[in-house]
Amino acid sequence: MNINKVDFSKSSTLYQKISLLKQEDNMKKRTIYAVIIISILLALPLTVTLAAEKPSKVKYAHLGPPKPFDDAIHAAATAFKHILEKRSSGRFQVEIYPAGTLGKEIDMMEAVKNNVIQVHAASMGGLFRIFPTALLLNAPFVFRNEAIAVEVLEGKFGQKLLDAFTEKTGIKGLANVDLYSYLAITNSVKPIRTPSDMAGLKFRGMDTLQVTMFKALGASAIPVAWPETFTALQTGVVHGQTNPISIVSWAKLNEVQKHLTIVNSQYGVQWLVCNKQWYDTLPPEDKMIVRDAAKAAITTSRGLSVLLEEKSIGELRERGMNVYALSDKEILEFQKLARPACLDWLKTQMDPKWVDEFLRVIKEAETKLGYL
């Protein structure tokens, strides 16, 4: 055989086989690349979805101490957080900032307007500065009892006030969060049973409305900041003050006050407010959850307030404080003097039509509930 002679036909076949193998290899590589690219593209929407499912943080601020079983305001915040997170399956994450950790009342209201804080339990002390009409709910001796107060707050008038607040300030009024209790009056001099017992006493007034109330009852009053109240009572700068009974016990005012009178003067109400833009951009189902969370806050604050009031009365009596609850008949004697004077002053702070409508709605509630 001649080894220099080449069989080109066989060599050509081998070349074709090698070429086919290369083509198959390239096709496999292209297929693998295509699968990888498709997998990446398919994974992108999942990545976006996972990112979108991160909890939406909601900052909730208030002035109460961070004790859910000792403070109704913090208890309300805890209930709001629980319901909003549970009902949204964790799509919302509520961060509670108690005890004014995010600033003073006026600072927090501004933060709500700018969406730095989403939800805030605002006291009347902060509300009336930007919406004077809110003071109506703080008027002394307008609600004969808690049932009438709730009837008014949960009715059309209560919602009308919230809507007017929203329109005036640009901050959404969510709900009236009441404490189902009143401020009590304490002093270090004598028991108070009738308005005549107020003569000669000087009280700490939180604002002009309280000063007006005490003067109408025959006493005198001067403004004293809360941090200075204990010392003012201790040194005799003032003889007495007014606050919820639970606050009297918590602040140990019994150490500088001997007598406490449950007089049903000013009803305890705060407003739950929120950033309007944040609320308005929520889908309808989430707005419903937010409103339901607000209802849970109201129910919780009322229930705990009643328990805390009862507990606080027992504590104060054990510490030697003289606690006396006025009868409905006795309260009317205080109402006759303080109510007209305070309502007249309120008419100088807002459109008098608000005051007139407020009184009409209260009378309707009293009739509906069988008190008239």
Of 172, 178, 154, nearest to 297 (Cα)?
178
Strand partners, 272: 121, 175
The pLDDT value given to residue 226: 87
**Longest pairwise C-alpha distance within the chain:** 143
The pLDDT of residue 181 is: 95
Classify residue 128 by burial, with Cβ atoms within 10 Å: 0-12, 13-18, 19+: buried
On whether the CB atoms of residues 206 and 125 are closer than 8 A, the answer is yes
Spatial separation of the C-alpha atoms in residues 49 and 200, rounded to whole Å: 70
Burial grade of 99 (CB within 10 A; 0-12, 13-18, 19 or more): middle
User: Which tokens sit at 78?
Assistant: 């805890």
What are the helix (H) ranges across the chain? Answer: 8-52, 72-87, 105-113, 124-130, 146-153, 156-169, 208-216, 229-235, 245-250, 276-280, 284-318, 328-347, 352-368
Assign domain 54-368 to its CATH architecture: 3-Layer(aba) Sandwich (3.40)
**In this predicted structure, what is the pLDDT of residue 314?**
98
Per-residue pLDDT of the chain (372 residues; tens, 9 = 90+): 444 444 444 444 544 544 554 555 555 555 444 433 334 444 444 434 434 579 999 999 999 999 999 999 999 999 999 999 999 999 999 999 999 999 999 999 999 999 999 999 999 888 999 999 999 999 999 999 999 999 999 999 999 999 999 999 999 999 999 999 999 999 999 999 999 999 999 999 999 999 999 999 999 999 998 889 999 999 999 999 999 999 999 999 999 999 999 999 999 999 999 999 999 999 999 999 999 999 999 999 999 999 999 999 999 999 999 999 999 999 999 999 999 999 999 999 999 999 999 999 999 999 999 998
Q: What residues pair up with 59 in beta bridges, in sequence order?
A: 95
CB neighbour class for 149 (10 Å; exposed up to 12, middle 13-18, buried from 19) = buried
Residues 222/211, Cβ–Cβ less than 8 Å: yes
Residue 225: per-residue pLDDT:
87
Q: Tell me the pTM.
A: 0.84
